[in-house]
Chains A and B, each alone.
Chain A
Amino acid sequence: MSWVCGERMGADTLVAIDLHVHSALSPCGADEMRPPAVLLTAEQRGIRVLGVVDHSTAGNARAFIEAAPAFDVRVLVGLEVESAEGVHTLALFDDWPPAMEMDRDVAERLPALRNRPGLLGSQHYVDALGDTLGEEPRLLIAATDLTIEELADMAHERGGLSIPAHVERQANGLLPTLGFVPQGLSVDAFELSRHTGRSDALRRWPDLSGRPVLWSSDAHCLDDIGAGASWVPRGVAEASGPLRDWGPDLVRSVVRGPAGTDA
């Protein structure tokens, strides 16, 4: 696979963003998904804004935020939470304290089940250097009893973004699960899986028409980072200030998706 660090389109340069990548704390996330390796890979592949999330937790958020200054990548951190309806939704923040605040609130709404590493994979806490700090014993891949609307509010109240993940996917996607976008749902964008083009998605789910969509890799291993990147004008990706000022613009400015999809 070839990677492009930026490309000219009209007057503005387009750059790649990948807002959905897992760390080693997700049971399904590869052990290699630790800050230095993830951030170096993203930098090498020209990802300008990278979102690192784990299922139901932001337990590695601090490590990624602390590691970020050594790399030429803007890092967002957060959680991928399963709502009561079974819908996966991203909550993204520009620093770890708000992410950890949401982490604590989500933890209270998870069923008390234990992970089975042999069956589902290990859940590793790591530091900024990538060293293991410990293992999470709770099962993180489980549905909370929070509604998708409550999850959106929890992200927004803390200055973050709310983005339903892989909305067209049969497993845990918003559209198959809830049939259509709920009336009044306040989210910032709708994520499509990396192999789904906009026109295919619209044909199957006309309800997406006129709504902002973006693509992410949902990478669980280093190889996949950037594989589902979205392309946005450079200026939008490099805007300054807190996320609540530039994040909504960023996810509404996607010009096109990864190769093979039509934006």
Chain B
Amino acid sequence: MAPDRDETTVRHMAEALGLTVLAGSACLDRPIHGALVSDLLSYVMASGRAGDVWITIQTHANTVAVAALASLAAIVVAAGFEPGDDTLSRAEEEEIPLLMSSQPAYVLAGRLFELGVR
């Protein structure tokens, strides 16, 4: 039986995908309801739903504000891109889990899908 998607939390995703937690480590028990991949922040503002994980290579501090506005579950920065200090401190302030991986967005999305996040 497929795992109940409400059971998948940010912490579960981080462990399963081998993600590094950069900020928001106090908020890792948030449930994940879906996911989206985009590097255009305007698209995420228009299409992101509460509880989504957002996979992106954008590292600008605006990503955190967009995630907070849309009540996203977490931001996963892909392909080894590294957010700067301003982005990290904004993520702590806004309580947005910010994670990173050296894997490309395509691979991360595939593995998240396999994990039952649909």
Contacts and interface: CB of A to CB of B under 8 A. Distances in A.
B111 interface: no
A93 B61 CA distance: 28
A115 B68 CA distance: 40
Nearest to A178: B62
Interface stretch (A9-17, A124-132, A179-187): A179-187
B84 A176 contact: no
Interface residues on chain A, size class: 10 to 19
Q: Which of B59, B60, B61, B65 has the most CB of A within 10 A?
A: B60
Given A179-B45, A179-B66, A147 B60 contact: yes
Contacts of B58: 85
B60 A176 contact: no
Contact of B60 (A85, A170, A175): A85
B44 interface: yes
A179 B61 contact: no
B39 interface: yes
A175 B46 CA distance: 13
Interface string B38-72: 01111111000000000000111110011000000
A82 to B, nearest CB: 13
Interface in A169-215: 170, 175-180, 182-183
Contact of B42 (A86, A148, A175, A183): A175
Contact of A147 (B42, B65, B84): B84
A190 to B, nearest CB: 15
Contacts of B84: 147
A88 B14 CA distance: 34
Contact of B59 (A84, A175, A176, A182): A84
Given A147-B84, A179-B44, A179-B45, A86 B39 contact: yes
Contact of B41 (A147, A178, A183): A178
A182 B59 CA distance: 13
A85 B77 CA distance: 13
B52 to A, nearest CB: 15
Contacts of A85: 58-60
Contact of A182 (B40, B43, B60): B60
B42 A179 contact: yes
Contacts of A86: 39
A238 B59 CA distance: 41
A69 to B, nearest CB: 42
Nearest to B43: A176
Given A147-B84, A179-B66, A180-B41, 7 more contacts: A85-B58, A147-B60, A175-B42, A177-B41, A178-B60, A180-B65, A182-B61
11 contacts: A84-B59, A84-B60, A175-B42, A177-B39, A179-B41, A179-B62, A179-B65, A179-B66, A180-B41, A183-B61, A183-B65
